[in-house]
Homo-oligomer: A and B are copies of this chain.
Amino acid sequence: MSRLRQVEAHGVMEPTSLQRFIYVLEGRLEASGDTLSAGGFVYYPAGQGQPLRAASPARAAVIEKSYQPLNGFIAPRPFCGCESEVAPQPLLGDPTLEVRSLVPADASFDFAINTMTYQPGATLPMVEIHFMEHGLLMLSGGGIYRLGEHWYPVTAGDFIWMAPYCPQWFGALGKTPAKYLIYKDWNRHPVNEER
């Protein structure tokens, strides 16, 4: 489940029993001693949630998911970070399309969260179809999102849920880069395991 949360100054975001990933869009949130500002993120495993206190009016994207264990792997531990400290990777060698992975590449995690930044005119190199679902939040800029045979002009603030196997493609239009935050289920077998 993905949602946007808005917290007033000194307000508190109470913990949940689900695993939770929080990405700060605006303002400042205090998380277990760290202060997160725009681009900051924090992860709490299932059953280890902590309250977050707003040091200023804040907005955050909140992603919650039932944890799906994997034999041979222990459950992940909490972590926090800042997107600006994550090295960007060009998608399939394309320097106009940068991916930042906010969740470690570790099979103990059953999901991945990336930001993707497109220079104007940059596009996904193909229409993708895959077993993962996506939750996507446009952070800045805009473009055209194609879902199956439907084409949607999208801009900052728009949210898209993509079902598994939904054909999908994006192209960035405008004079400034387009950027989104994207979640996917990951590291689990789509057939043999319960989603």
Residues of B within 8 A of A173 (CB): 121-123, 171-173
How distant is A150 from chain B, measured CB to nearest CB, in Å? 9
Instruction: Indicate whether A119 reaches chain B with its CB closer than 8 angstroms.
Output: yes
Most buried by B among A121, A123, A146, A173: A121
Cα distance A65–B171 when bound, in Å?
37
Instruction: Indicate whether A144 reaches chain B with its CB closer than 8 angstroms.
Output: yes
**Given A144-B171, A173-B173, 7 new contacts (CB under 8 A):** A119-B121, A120-B120, A120-B122, A121-B174, A123-B174, A143-B171, A144-B151
The 25 listed contacts between A and B (C-beta, < 8 Å) are: A96-B175, A119-B120, A119-B121, A120-B120, A120-B121, A120-B122, A121-B121, A121-B172, A121-B173, A121-B174, A121-B175, A122-B173, A122-B175, A123-B173, A123-B174, A143-B171, A144-B144, A144-B151, A144-B171, A146-B151, A151-B151, A171-B171, A171-B173, A172-B173, A173-B173
